Structure 1
Amino acid sequence: MLKMRNHKQKLLLAIAVLLFPFMAIGQKTNYYIKDATAKDQQISDSQLPIMGTNIGVYYEESWLMNFEVQKRLHDLKPGIIRMPGGSWSNELYWNGNRVRLEKESYIDKQTWDSTIKAGGNPIAVGFDTSRYHNGLWDVDYKGYAPGFRIKNNEHELSDYHGFTDVLFLHKYIQSYGCETMVTVNMGTGTPKMAAEWVKWTKQRANYARQPFDVKYWELGNELDGDWEVGHFLPDGSAMTAAEYIRRYKIFTKAMKAADPSIKVGGSVASSMELVFIEELIADTSCPIDFISFHAYPSHDNDTDFVKMANEAAKVNQAVRRIKDWISKYRPAQSNSIEIALTEWNIKVKEDITTVDIRNALWSAVMIGEMAKAGVDIAIQWDLFSTTPTGGHGMFNPLDSTMTPRSQYWASYMWSNYMQNHLIATDLNAPDYVWAYITQGKGGYAIMLINGSPTERVSICLDAEFMAKKQQANKVTFSEKQYKINPKTLIPIRSEKPEEERVMLKKGGCVELAPQSITIFQIPQKI
């Protein structure tokens, strides 16, 4: 009997040894998140950036005035909106008084399209060509008319001038009670053109009209890029740091003379390579109130969340370089020069990753990384886009319902559920999980992002600010809330994040659904 028992024990042991690897694989691994101690210098505490979006004169008024869009944009609580529209900034005469005639000022898209279809030219009338002298259009700044667009250094008229104007955009931004950032034409424009815009925003008060309080003025747009009108100079050579700085000095002198209180900045670099920025900071005769650059960090062929999220995190290195240059060349301004990311999105190429749930997950990471890096202003690109293969816009006008795309919901969650102060975080989790903790008057908020399309993850919450047991508000955004039509790329489901009251235990674990953003709003311990 004893021998049989030993035989059975040996058999069971052998089976256990054989099955152990499979048993281990089947077990769930519990990971954790903590608020880091003061000794942990991996992440410094910082404020969340002022967040906003971009709008352009090429938008139709009906898009901007759409009730659903206005409501959704109001819900985002934008802190700043940038105008008049990316690359158009280097091609735009903001004021067309006595050049662009009133009868053509507000031509609508239907009339424009029907004129083109009939073989006509919608710009054959509506412009006083006698006011073109020596390669420039002679605008009368004593009045205002909608502006117009040119297409080269010779200032030839474009065949398309947009469907709104800067007056409409200024009023639109002002209706949201947020800051305005204007990008002036330093590609093909003149210092007088920029200075007159500054004057006009203030002098409207002289005509019993409410002035536009524009604090931020950006000099040019991505002039380091050969796709920009103004990158190639009249002699055929390309824009250089020296030429950019020469123009910057002349423009800012004229603009500050018009209003010394405005904030001016550049170089509006097209990427995190930060072209022209060190040279601009190093020339201490340049007035600088903020440094601006753009970030579309993922490569065109990137589709994997982990890879794209890691590219987003490189914003920390870019901002560190800028801060080091400021400390080196302008130590007295180390705490006063703001850092502005005035265009950001997942990648340049507008493919499916820009509109499916991956952009929500990626954008949640990008906003967190910008906050961690110490970015002061973060302006998403952009509000609308109609690209059939994807789209940077938070809304697609080809979608009759103007249903928000996924990126909208990442901004929505940061704006509505997170607090305003980012605190250091200690996360032990797979590389597809990212986390951020914020603190404010409303208590704390923990954001957990699971980028895996298949894996559920268990994370233990072990933050010092948590009570042993307490109620919290759980907010979840996942494929349950958002899904696109794979053929049209238009959302077939785009819903507000789900909220529910839950009981949390300090050290207790929560489960994250695949491809989800989960926030726990936790009140301060009493």
Structure 2
Amino acid sequence: MRSASLVVDPAFTVGPVRRRTFGSFVEHLGRCVYTGIYEPGHPTSDEDGFREDVLALTRELGVSTIRYPGGNFVSGYRWEDGVGPVAERPRRLDLAWHSMDPNTVGTDEFMKWAAKAGIEPMMAVNLGTRGTEAALDLLEYCNIPADSAIAERRRANGADEPYRVKMWCLGNEMDGPWQIGHKTAHEYGRLAAETARAMRMMDPSIELVACGSSSRAMPTFGEWERTVLTQAWEFVDMVSAHAYYWERGDDLQSFLGSAVDMDRFIEQVAATADAVGAANKSEKVIGISFDEWNVWYQDRAESKPPTGDDWPVAPVLLEDNYSVADAVVVGNLLISLLRHTDRVWSANLAQLVNVIAPIMTVPGGKAWKQTIFHPFALTARHASGEVLRVHLDSPQLPTTEFGTIPALDAVATSGDGNLTVFLVNRSLDESVTTSLDLRGQEHDLIEALTLSNDDPRYQASAEDDDTVVPLPNRSVKLDGALVELTLPPASWTMVRLAAR
């Protein structure tokens, strides 16, 4: 058994815990919408066709924000198709996922669902096949109270009050050659600036997110951010970052270190944005919207869209079945996001239901929790107040992909007299005895929960989603302002303490 130590001092803060860190993502992809959040005729469905069991799990998950309607889908989306009488809405080909969208669910339905779920909507506009005019029309539909033609159209469709959407994404992954309407950094930067300028003329209160790199591994990474922000600096608030991680080959040890890459991604995007600010002689700070992140096994068969003449509605796509190791990585990625709360102002776990998701549904049947549900829900529920700087002394761990990394990773938050520490042991085969030095401040234990399993590749299922969950960690010992506990291999842990 190896040992590690942490020093946690409430006097040393990074910044506030932002509720928007705990966002998620609903895209018209696979079964996320149809038989996911929406399934008329399901035993739990309400009068609007929304599954109440999914709504309940969404609230339990603690989601704060939902990004909608994509994703790659948005780059070919005509938002007008999804409003008005459902019987008159056209069926459209979705080129991004080679599927058919019946447009039964659109802007108004999503806003109804968001209100029921108690979440803040985050809308994306199509800058792939469309542009400034369509973005303005959607903004007018959502945010202008009355009297204009498009605002009155919304009112005629049953939504008398405006939705007042605050956060808007200026397209999606426009750096990616797979994207409909893919553009160079210069082309996109100019379009984003023009669209942002016009949207602010209509509603100065909105917050705008420019597309950053869809991966740190993109050949254009860094230069893309510099070019886009140079052109759009005056008009945007945040730049996006997207990252997905999965076990490559049979290298589970490297996979458990994935948060090292997220740390570097965030720090390099922030440095690039600050360099643009310096060149502009500007005091403005650009935040990061990490509006797509998760574990996603992109090489699996379920990630391959249909082909040819097959354009199905809501096909089974991207339905990864997550393991305990995947949950540990998700918990570690949340630690990274919280640790960078000074620059990460918004984040979205992609996605919410069925598609690389914490919540799964059986059509006509039950909704159930994947392993990744648990670290997200507990972090969203108990991270509060201020994020604290943690001084960590950890044994080192060799990995093939990331070199030598700390075996232990951790972050702490302090609020309402409680101190919460989130920890991950990345080692596959060794426990780590960990001491927490609370700098002379005595605390009482509220609870300590650990998610682990003798088989880190254990996966939950519709038949068994409650036998492998976070359980009490009985190793915790308190001695004044010192806490000691043991972290099993490949584990995620939360320790909650109350100040005396």
TM-score by length of 1: 0.73
- State the distance in 1 between where 2:209 and 2:190 align: 14
Query: What is the aligned counterpart of 1:384 among 335, 342, 353?
Result: 353
Q: Which residue matches 1:394?
A: 358
Describe the SS at the equivalent of 1:46.
strand
Given the alignment of the two structures, is residue 474 of structure 1 paired with residue 448 of structure 2, yes or no? yes
Q: Which residue matches 2:230?
A: 282
Given the alignment of the two structures, is residue 221 of structure 1 paired with residue 172 of structure 2, yes or no? yes
Describe the SS at the equivalent of 1:349.
coil
**Deviation for aligned residue 1:269:** 2.5
Q: Which residue matches 1:318?
A: 268
Task: Mark the CA change 1:31 to 1:230 in structure 2 (over 3 Å): closer, same or farther.
Answer: same
Task: Mark the CA change 1:377 to 1:37 in structure 2 (over 3 Å): closer, same or farther.
Answer: closer
**Deviation for aligned residue 1:289:** 1.9
Describe the SS at the equivalent of 1:334.
coil
Q: In structure 2, give the amino acid aligned to 1:103.
A: A
Q: Percent identity?
A: 21
Aligned counterparts, 1:321-400, within 5 A: 321-335=271-285, 337-347=286-296, 349=298, 355-373=322-340, 374-385=343-354, 392-398=356-362, 400=365
Q: Which residue matches 1:31?
A: 4
Task: Mark the CA change 1:270 to 1:306 in structure 2 (over 3 Å): closer, same or farther.
Answer: same
Q: In structure 1, give the amino acid aligned to 2:54.
A: V
Query: What is the aligned counterpart of 2:470 among 468, 487, 497?
Result: 497
Task: Mark the CA change 1:319 to 1:243 in structure 2 (over 3 Å): closer, same or farther.
Answer: closer
- State the distance in 2 between where 1:359 and 1:507 align: 31
Q: Which residue matches 2:486?
A: 511
Do the aligned residues in 2 keep the contact of 1:419 with 1:442 (CA within 8 Å)?
Answer: no
Query: What is the aligned counterpart of 1:78 among 44, 52, 63?
Result: 63
**Deviation for aligned residue 1:200:** 0.6
Query: What is the aligned counterpart of 1:52 among 23, 41, 47?
Result: 23
**Deviation for aligned residue 1:350:** 6.2
Do the aligned residues in 1 keep the contact of 2:24 with 2:63 (CA within 8 Å)?
Answer: yes
Given the alignment of the two structures, is residue 209 of structure 1 paired with residue 178 of structure 2, yes or no? no
Query: What is the aligned counterpart of 1:406 among 351, 366, 371?
Result: 371
Q: CA offsets, 1:170-197, max 9 Å, x none?
A: 2212333332211100000132211111
Task: Mark the CA change 1:254 to 1:95 in structure 2 (over 3 Å): closer, same or farther.
Answer: same
- State the distance in 2 between where 1:491 and 1:484 align: 11
**Deviation for aligned residue 1:247:** 1.5
**Deviation for aligned residue 1:163:** 4.9
Aligned counterparts, 1:11-160, within 5 A: 28-35=1-8, 45-49=14-18, 50=20, 51-58=22-29, 59-64=32-37, 65-96=50-81, 102-103=86-87, 105=89, 126=90, 148-149=92-93, 151=95, 159-160=100-101
- State the distance in 1 between where 2:130 and 2:109 align: 21
Q: In structure 2, give the amino acid aligned to 1:314.
A: R
Q: In structure 2, give the amino acid aligned to 1:247.
A: L
Given the alignment of the two structures, is residue 456 of structure 1 paired with residue 435 of structure 2, yes or no? no
Do the aligned residues in 1 keep the contact of 2:448 with 2:494 (CA within 8 Å)?
Answer: yes
Query: What is the aligned counterpart of 1:189 among 130, 134, 152?
Result: 130
If you compute each CA radius of gyration, which structure gives the higher value, 1 or 2?
A: 1
- State the distance in 2 between where 1:457 and 1:485 align: 24
- State the distance in 2 between where 1:285 and 1:429 align: 40
RMSD: 3.4
**Deviation for aligned residue 1:290:** 1.7
**Deviation for aligned residue 1:102:** 4.4
Q: Which runs of 5+ in 2 are unaligned?
A: 38-49, 147-151, 301-318, 396-405
Do the aligned residues in 2 keep the contact of 1:180 with 1:213 (CA within 8 Å)?
Answer: no
Given the alignment of the two structures, is residue 440 of structure 1 paired with residue 415 of structure 2, yes or no? yes
Q: In structure 2, give the amino acid aligned to 1:54.
A: F
Q: In structure 1, give the amino acid aligned to 2:376.
A: S
Q: In structure 2, give the amino acid aligned to 1:308.
A: S
Do the aligned residues in 1 keep the contact of 2:189 with 2:232 (CA within 8 Å)?
Answer: no
**Deviation for aligned residue 1:162:** 5.3
TM-score by length of 2: 0.76
Describe the SS at the equivalent of 1:296.
strand
Aligned length: 434
- State the distance in 2 between where 1:37 and 1:445 align: 11
Q: Which residue matches 2:105?
A: 164
**Deviation for aligned residue 1:340:** 0.6
Deviates more, 1:511-520 or 1:496-505: 496-505
Do the aligned residues in 2 keep the contact of 1:394 with 1:404 (CA within 8 Å)?
Answer: yes
Task: Mark the CA change 1:508 to 1:103 in structure 2 (over 3 Å): closer, same or farther.
Answer: closer
Describe the SS at the equivalent of 2:359.
coil
Q: Which runs of 5+ in 1 are unaligned?
A: 1-27, 106-125, 128-147, 232-238, 387-391
Q: In structure 2, give the amino acid aligned to 1:370.
A: L
Q: Which residue matches 1:291?
A: 239
Greater relative CO (CA pairs within 8 A, separation 6+): 2
Q: Which residue matches 2:120?
A: 179
Describe the SS at the equivalent of 1:455.
coil
